[in-house]
Every structure is written in C-alpha cells, then in structure tokens.
A and B are shown apart, each in its own frame.
Chain A
Amino acid sequence: MSFLYLASIGRIEEELLLFLEARLGEVFGLQVGRLHPFVEPSYAFDPIRGQYSSVALMRQLIEICPDGARLLGITEKDLFIPVLSFVFGQAQLNGRLAVVSLARLHQEFYRLAPDPAILEQRALKESMHELGHTFGLVHCPERSCPMSLATNIRQLDLKKTQWCVSCEIMLREAMGQSR
C-alpha cells in the first residue's frame, strides 16, 4: 500500500494542501495524490454540541477511500467523539483512514494573529500523528515525537516533525510489511 490520498472536506487553503502533500510524501515515502474536494460535511453536524462528529465523517470517508490506499481527510470543522469535548483528529488504528481538523490549529482560535507558517507546522504534525496510527503506531511517551498525545495546542507545538527513534523503527517495520 504505497499510495496516500489527501481530501479536503469543505474549503481548505490550496497552499496548505500543497505543503502537506509535499511534506507527507517525504515523511512517509509514499506517493501522494489528491481526491476531489468534498462538500461541507453538514451530515456530521451535531446541533447540540455545535461541532462535527468525526465518527460520522470517517464513515463517509470509508465509502470513497480508493482500494489499497490510505486517505487523509482535512477539514476546518471542529471535530468531536461523543465522550470527549473535542479531538484534533482521528484515525483507524492499523487501518486506512485518518481525518484532521484544522479548527483548533489556527492562531485565531486562541485569539492570536493569524500565522500561516505555524498552521502549516501544526497541520503537518497532526497529520503525521493520525497517519502514524494507520501504521499501527500508538501514543508515544516522548513529548517531542509526533506520536505523543497532545491534549492541548501547547503540547502540539512542543512536538517536532521528526519521529523519535522507537517510532521511526516501528514505522519502518510497519511500512515494510504494508508495501
């Protein structure tokens, strides 16, 4: 399985998509393609919480995920799973699907001035994290590793865009098996 598709769910800045396309290709050594953008995910909206269900979104993505490939959905919507107040993203552990929400990655969410470079880095780290799950990686205790659990934006910012030694090894093994 050497293909990764990106899909924007709703409108996403083209520059950001191009950046992720290039960097994720390098990081995972996968060929990266783009699927047709998807419409705004109104079907996943929960009026009580005012957020979007990432479970509903994943269910939609599974329908269109090309055979033998991985699919990363990217949305500006704020995502949740029922038991948690929000999630930065979600993935199928050892699966093919992942979704990342940009909602809480923007500086504006924290009432700061917009900064596209920071957004890019955050989006890359979160995408690496969720895609890492699809390769069977679980949360890593190394705070600087993209696979560590970030429960807030500060923890996400502490991460680097480079795997720790252990996750690098596990990823290499998993990729060897899935290719």
Chain B
Amino acid sequence: MIGHCDCNNFYVSVFRVFMPALKGRPVGVLSSGDGCLVARSNELKALGVPNGIPVFQLAPDIRRQTVLLSSAYALFGEMSRRVVATMRATTGPVEPYSIDEQFIDLAGLSLEALQAHAEELRQIVQLSTGIPVSIGVAPSRTLALSVEKQTWLEARSSLFPDLCK
C-alpha cells in the first residue's frame, strides 16, 4: 500500500505556525514578485477565490478582508524538510514528491493497522511541525493521490474506498 500525504494549504499553514493571529482569517500567499496567489487558506477558498489568479483581479471587498503575504521559500523549504524528517522518524520509507507532498511506503500493514497508522502519522506531523496534513492510502501512487485529493479541505486520513468493502 502507498500513502499520499499532502500538507494542507502548505504556504499558508507555514505562516500560521509562526503567526497564530492568522488562524481563522482569509490568508493568501503570493508568488515570487507578489504577482499571483499561489496558496489560499480554506477561508479564502470559501470566498470563491480561485488558485493562481493575479492579485489585481481580487475583488476589492475580498482583498480588504484578506491577509496577503509574500513567499518565503527558504522557510517553506525548511518546514518541508521538517515534515519529511518527522515522517521518516515515524513510518516506513518516505518519498518527497513536491515541496508539500510525500509518498509513503505502507507495505505489510493490515487494513485496520493502515487506518490507525495513517491517523497517527497525521497527528504526529501536526503536533511536531504545526502543519495540518491529509493522507490518502491506496494500492498505487495515483490512486493514493486521488483519494487524498477528495479530502483536501480537511486535515484527515482516508483509505481508498474499495479497500473498505
């Protein structure tokens, strides 16, 4: 079995670790040069703001209530490294897939153990790094990614539905 782990709204979550005042507010992180939105908090997604839009296209009323932050790639890279290091100390082989995604080898675990292990891993990463993550578990990388994507708004772990039949 393969687990796919995605850090929820990663760039926003990194800033929230160090700036607790951002919790519960619409927050957007901008691309290099502050051109486009590259990360949105759930609150900003709920306002209907699509990913990647140029910041000048944000409606004035949305922009007024949103905290917009410049990217801090050295910090994002360090927090990504911490997420991977925390996982490696907790579970089997971890394969970084992007700055905010990892595949995890979960071979040899029973169904119940998979569910419990994915949930434990999620909680340990949240505690140690402050970053909320979602984990999807399925027989292949592609399916694991697709399972995880169905829960992307919440930090939780889930199994490929066919496994549970």
A and B bind:
no
Interface residues in chain A, defined as those with a beta carbon under 8 Å from any beta carbon in chain B: none
